[in-house]
Amino acid sequence: MEKTQMAMLKLVLLGPPGAGKGTQAKSLSEELGLAHISTGDILRQAIQLDSALGKEAKHYVDKGELVPDGLVTKMVIERLKRPDAKRGFILDGFPRNIKQAEDLDSFFAQEGYSDYKVIYLDATEKTIIQRLGGRMICKKCQAVFHMTNMPPKEGSRCDFCKSELYQRQDDREETVKYRLSVYAQATKPVVEYYARQGRIMEFDADRESSVVLKEMLQGL
């Protein structure tokens, strides 16, 4: 498939926490010329820009509450309507549950995106615990680093805004297993939802990211 055709791909990237979704989404975006659409980035940008949806989301974030599904879906769809996404995109971190998947399908049907594909990165609990245990987050811009796989250039400071990095409670071993149980309850059914539609392309994400990337590109 020529690169111009590849750039028209519409991809949804799924997988448990620690499977490498962010890393692979960025790599696929660069390799295929696709817009990388991350729900985390969308949320931060909307709040920084003080948009109408950003103001609504900030209301929940400031109180330490989860942003409601409906609001997240609105923000994702708003982003998907931009010109760069119409030329092809990879959706990273969404949908997280069946309702979001159904709402996304409704939007895709309106836009004529019947041929979109779903990539599922599968990883074992052992690999996930090892990966998340070394993950560090910037306190200010929320950029993600890994002390082994993607260390910051300057000690424990963010490469982008120079703020201090920290390890989230969610990334400590005692909570990773709980996160995986939550994933199994809420997000794993989304994988089954897409499998029933015959859209799933599954890859073993326990391996080196470069190996997985090469296999995904060959599959696409």
- Catalytic residue set: 21, 96, 135, 168, 179
Helix (H) or strand (E) holding 184: helix 173-186
Give the pLDDT confidence score for residue 44 in this predicted structure: 84
**Structural domain spans, the chain:** 3-128+186-219
CA dist 158 to 12, 81, 102, 164, Å? 28, 31, 37, 6
Q: Which residues of the chain have pLDDT under 50?
A: 4
d(CA 177, CA 126): 10
Q: E-assigned strands of the chain?
A: 10-14, 35-38, 89-92, 117-122, 135-138, 144-146, 165-166, 200-204
Give the pLDDT confidence score for residue 3 in this predicted structure: 55
d(CA 110, CA 18): 33
Give me the residue label for tokens 């590849």. Answer: 6
109-125 pLDDT, tens per residue?
Answer: 999 999 999 999 999 99
CATH number at 3-128+186-219: 3.40.50.300
Indicate the pTM of the whole model.
Answer: 0.80
- Residue 16 C-beta-side C-alpha neighbours within 13 Å: 26
